[in-house]
């Protein structure tokens, strides 16, 4: 049976149009994976001498175990955002004579072979070897220690899926994990319950008495069992077929009538944003974007770096523009055929999106005015950045959209969802953020602050002046790729 499953998985992966069309993203992911492998290897090799240097009085082994609690928390946190339970299309399997048990065990078993579970080995193994060769530890002790770490990693693996399945229903899906990890960290930090000691003592106990290994193994078994039950329940069709139907909310969007003939599209766009998970995340990002400056400005170090002002300004005032704009027209991909066969002028369709983005820039600029607390220059730079966003970035991102060939499933979770992301989305970041920052940085460095701001402002104003002409050009680009987009949007990834 497992052979059949593996065969299906293989075909699913390599025959998906997503893989074939998205080689660049795959290369990028492989590159990231290799990068992390290298980092962990380096960490594993350097761990022993570093710990020796910083804690000369202590045994590196003990020090490392003392940090293990943070390792576990960090691991869990990162897993939540990047690791997904392997998906298997089970519907066709349910009517075949296959035990549900087998399917569930396969899915869970497969998750144990995730990249995230192998990554720690690259650090643990070299560190362990060093402990034996330089630290004078028994090989058997270290082997038991490594085994413990592997079990802890697997515990995290299955704990993560439980957290994910609990939080996937909620609106702010990342809140539970932040609460859990933050809570544990706080309890530990304020010495209410010292998990650091607890974990360290636990490891010591296991190393001293290998029979204690049973404790983590038992914990692992319990977590596996909980996962098993959660998944098994999901394997019945009525839970996946019977969709929870939310009652439709009525929204009064009469005010959009002020915008004349683009009003129907604006209403559609606003409903798109408020009623779909994926699109709604661009609203949450507004808050995040607004606070972005607070990461930098309170620190005097960054306040010296004036070239950062424009970059942060672009980001703060343009967060919605970037987030929403990069998926034009993929937002409408699921009903693109309708739009193309209806009496719609492309120009108005695009103008509606354009208007929304401009409005967001203006609103974000107004909301970011309090940053003036950190200095006048920041306000001026943000103003220039907002004008640049309106005049240049809005057009650039819409032009990028005409190269968009990736469908978006509106209902899917948003955080770290790469669906709909192609090479274009990665490349578009360059003119959007890097160009204004570089340009301003250079002018600010070689001439002065005022010249830099003036040039950024001028570019924005030029864009606004030639708006009609630019839009005509962009509209033509969309028209030219009409058939290709219809074809691409009607394919599943």
For other proteins, the binding residues (CB under 8 A) are: 243, 245-248, 263-264, 267-268, 271-272, 275-276, 334-338, 340-344, 410-411, 483, 486-487, 490
Q: How far apart are CA 188 and CA 291, in angstroms?
A: 28
Q: Which is nearer to other proteins, 154 or 268 (CB)?
A: 268
> In whole angstroms, how far apart are CA 375 and each of 221, 242, 251, 444, 447?
57, 56, 40, 17, 20
Smallest gap, in angstroms, from Cβ of residue 341 to other proteins?
4
Smallest gap, in angstroms, from Cβ of residue 447 to other proteins?
50
Smallest gap, in angstroms, from Cβ of residue 271 to other proteins?
6
Smallest gap, in angstroms, from Cβ of residue 411 to other proteins?
8
Taking Cα atoms as reference points, which of 113, 132, 118 lies closest to residue 40? 118
Smallest gap, in angstroms, from Cβ of residue 481 to other proteins?
12
Q: Which is nearer to other proteins, 276 or 281 (CB)?
A: 276
Q: Which is nearer to other proteins, 41 or 410 (CB)?
A: 410
**Cβ-based neighbours of 5, under 8 Å, separated by 6 or more:** 88, 103, 106
Smallest gap, in angstroms, from Cβ of residue 388 to other proteins?
33
Q: How far apart are CA 442 and CA 408, in angstroms?
A: 38
> In whole angstroms, how far apart are CA 156 and each of 69, 164, 197, 307?
12, 12, 19, 42
Provide the CA 487 distance to its chain's centre, in angstroms. 28
Provide the CA 400 distance to its chain's centre, in angstroms. 21
Q: Cβ(231)–Cβ(108) under 8 Å? A: yes
Q: Cβ(397)–Cβ(326) under 8 Å? A: yes
Q: Which is nearer to other proteins, 146 or 486 (CB)?
A: 486
Q: Which is nearer to other proteins, 334 or 417 (CB)?
A: 334
Smallest gap, in angstroms, from Cβ of residue 327 to other proteins?
15
The secondary structure element, H or E, covering residue 458 is helix 449-465
Q: Which is nearer to other proteins, 11 or 337 (CB)?
A: 337
SS3 of 93, please? helix
Q: Which is nearer to other proteins, 275 or 303 (CB)?
A: 275
Smallest gap, in angstroms, from Cβ of residue 254 to other proteins?
11
Q: Which is nearer to other proteins, 344 or 359 (CB)?
A: 344
Q: Tally Cβ neighbours within 10 Å of residue 22.
A: 19
Provide the H-helix boundaries in 83-114: 91-94, 100-111
Q: How far apart are CA 339 and CA 354, in angstroms?
A: 17
């Amino acid at each position: 049976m497992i052979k059949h499953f593996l065969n299906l998985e293989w075909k699913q992966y390599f025959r998906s149009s997503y893989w074939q069309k998205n080689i660049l993203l795959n290369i990028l992911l492989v590159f990231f994976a290799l990068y992390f492998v290298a980092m962990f290897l380096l960490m594993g090799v350097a761990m022993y001498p570093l710990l020796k240097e910083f804690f000369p009085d202590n045994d590196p082994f003990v020090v490392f175990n003392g940090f293990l609690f943070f390792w576990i928390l960090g691991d869990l946190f990162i897993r939540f955002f990047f690791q997904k339970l392997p998906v298997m299309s089970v519907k066709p399997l349910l009517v075949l004579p296959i035990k549900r048990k087998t399917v569930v065990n396969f899915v869970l078993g497969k998750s144990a072979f995730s990249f995230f579970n192998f990554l720690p080995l690259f650090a643990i193994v070299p560190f362990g070897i060093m402990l034996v060769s330089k630290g004078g530890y028994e090989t058997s002790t270290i082997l038991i220690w490594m085994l413990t770490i592997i079990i802890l990693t697997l515990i995290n693996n299955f704990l993560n899926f439980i957290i994910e399945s609990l939080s996937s229903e909620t609106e702010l899906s990342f809140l539970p994990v932040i609460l859990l990890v933050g809570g544990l960290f706080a309890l530990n930090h304020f010495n209410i319950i010292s998990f650091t000691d607890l974990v360290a003592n636990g490891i010591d106990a296991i190393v001293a008495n290998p029979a204690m290994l049973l404790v983590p193994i038992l914990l692992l078994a319990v977590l596996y069992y909980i996962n098993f039950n959660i998944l098994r329940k999901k394997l019945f069709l009525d839970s996946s077929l019977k969709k929870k139907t939310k009652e439709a909310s009525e929204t009064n969007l009469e005010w959009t009538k002020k915008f004349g003939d683009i009003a129907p599209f604006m209403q559609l766009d606003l409903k798109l944003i408020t009623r779909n998970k994926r699109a709604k995340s661009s609203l949450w990002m507004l808050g995040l974007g607004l606070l972005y400056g607070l990461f930098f400005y309170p620190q005097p170090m960054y306040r010296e770096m004036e070239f950062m002002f424009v970059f942060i300004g672009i980001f703060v005032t343009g967060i919605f523009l970037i987030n929403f704009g990069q998926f034009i027209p993929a937002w409408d991909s699921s009903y693109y055929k309708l739009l193309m066969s209806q009496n719609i002028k492309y120009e108005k369709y695009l103008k509606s999106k354009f208007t929304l983005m401009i409005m967001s820039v203006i609103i974000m600029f107004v909301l970011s005015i309090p940053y003036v607390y950190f200095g006048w220059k920041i306000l001026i730079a943000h103003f220039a950045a907002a004008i640049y966003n309106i005049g240049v970035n809005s057009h650039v991102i819409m032009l990028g959209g005409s190269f968009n060939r990736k469908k978006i499933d509106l209902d899917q979770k948003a955080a770290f969802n790469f669906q709909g992301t192609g090479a274009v989305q990665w490349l578009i970041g360059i003119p959007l953020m890097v160009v204004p920052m570089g340009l301003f940085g250079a002018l600010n460095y070689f001439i002065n602050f005022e010249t830099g701001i003036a040039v950024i402002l001028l570019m924005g104003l030029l864009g606004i002046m030639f708006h009609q002409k630019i839009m005509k050009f962009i509209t033509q680009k969309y028209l030219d790729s009409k058939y290709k987009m219809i074809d691409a949007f009607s394919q599943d990834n």
